[in-house]
Amino acid sequence: MASLALHVSVPQSQPLIRFPSFSLSRFSQCSKRRNLLYSAPPHLDNVQSEVSLCVGTHLIPHPNKALTGGEDAFFVSSYSGGVIAVADGVSGWAKENVDPALFPREFLANASDLVENDDEVNNDPQILLRKAHASTSATGSATVIVAMMERNGKLKIANVGDCGLKIIRKGQIIFSTSPQEHYFDCPYQLSSERVGQTFLDAKVSNVELMEGDILVMGSDGLFDNVFDHEIVATATKYVDVGEAAKALANLASSHSADKTFESPYSLEARSKGYDVPFWKKILGMKLTGGKLDDITVVVGQVVSS
């Protein structure tokens, strides 16, 4: 993520929670009562409920941030029918000598704890955003999306910024979140600063899910580099959700490094007036290429339990 909503001078924050660094992560889970930040060894289990989410994840950091694990974070919980969330740290904080990874990691660590231990949350992702934000003391900001499924299949979504979620049913996208931006490449974000977005700015949606539905959640590193038809073709190709998440992340990574690829990001940039210099246009050239970024993919399938 490129831009801060507010550029301010802030002191270096102290990391409250440390996470292991990695270059790639993969996780598969078919709903066991457990919360997970980042990834864990592949695990399959079941919970006795009407429907639940079977979840697979994959994260590929920006090539320049592979040693530190990048600035995205995610968590998976089997609370109720299942909870999934992604947060994308705003890289612009690095210019203020702040580690952009600290805020999203602490935010989702707080959210993970609240899901299990705070009755007030009660399957409401907007309340979860409010309480997790209030509990986060790290300096920084992040775009965040949370989806919480009840055992009857009702999915509640709260989204701030340009992380996203698409729901696929019988090979068609039946629901998609829309990114929230101040201007091109500067999304809404929850921040440590007093002036900024709050849980009240979240776009809240409700969707009735059916057994067999596929959820694809990700940071903008996925959606800036992979078109909807590619997401559908890839997500429905695999029986295993972990393999589907890995394939989508690898596809996004491949597109992001391809300077000739007509990516969703380059198409949007041109539509907003960003392009190559005029003399290159005369030569028939145009702005192309993917967007190098952290790439987080969470794939969930609704299963009968």
Q: For 18-64, write each residue's pLDDT tens digit.
A: 233 333 445 556 644 445 555 333 334 443 459 999 999 999 999 99
- How many folded domains does the chain comprise? 1
The pLDDT score that the predictor gives to residue 172 is 98
User: 195 in a domain, yes or no?
Assistant: yes
User: 161 in a domain, yes or no?
Assistant: yes
The pLDDT score that the predictor gives to residue 36 is 56
User: 281 in a domain, yes or no?
Assistant: no
User: 31 in a domain, yes or no?
Assistant: no
The whole-number average pLDDT for the span 120-129 is: 96
What lies within 8 Å, CB to CB, of 198 at 6+ separation is 130, 133, 190
The pLDDT score that the predictor gives to residue 5 is 41
Note the pTM of the prediction, 2 decimals. 0.85
Kindly state the percentage of the chain with pLDDT values over 70.
83
User: 275 in a domain, yes or no?
Assistant: no
* Residue 161 backbone dihedrals phi, psi, to 5 degrees: 105, -145
User: 265 in a domain, yes or no?
Assistant: no
| Tokens coding 264 | 């969703």
| Mean pLDDT estimate for the chain | 86
CATH number for the domain spanning 152: value is 3.60.40.10
Query: CA dihedral defined by 17, 241, 90, 185, rounded to 10 degrees?
Result: -170
**Sequence-separated contacts (24+) of 118-123 with Cβ below 8 Å:** 123/80, 123/148, 123/150, 123/156
Which residues form the domain of 233? 51-257+290-304
The pLDDT score that the predictor gives to residue 121 is 96
The whole-number average pLDDT for the span 208-233 is: 98
The amino acid at 132: A
Are 212 and 300 in contact by the 8 Å Cβ rule? The answer is no
* Residue 271 pLDDT > 80: yes
* Residue 198 pLDDT > 80: yes
The whole-number average pLDDT for the span 236-254 is: 98
pLDDT band, residue 6 (cuts 50/70/90): very low
Interstrand relation of 25-30 and 203-208 (parallel, antiparallel or unpaired): unpaired
User: 188 in a domain, yes or no?
Assistant: yes
The pLDDT score that the predictor gives to residue 190 is 98
The whole-number average pLDDT for the span 67-93 is: 96
Query: What are the distances in angstroms from CA 264 to CA 211, 267, 286, 288?
Result: 30, 5, 14, 10
The whole-number average pLDDT for the span 268-295 is: 84
User: 23 in a domain, yes or no?
Assistant: no
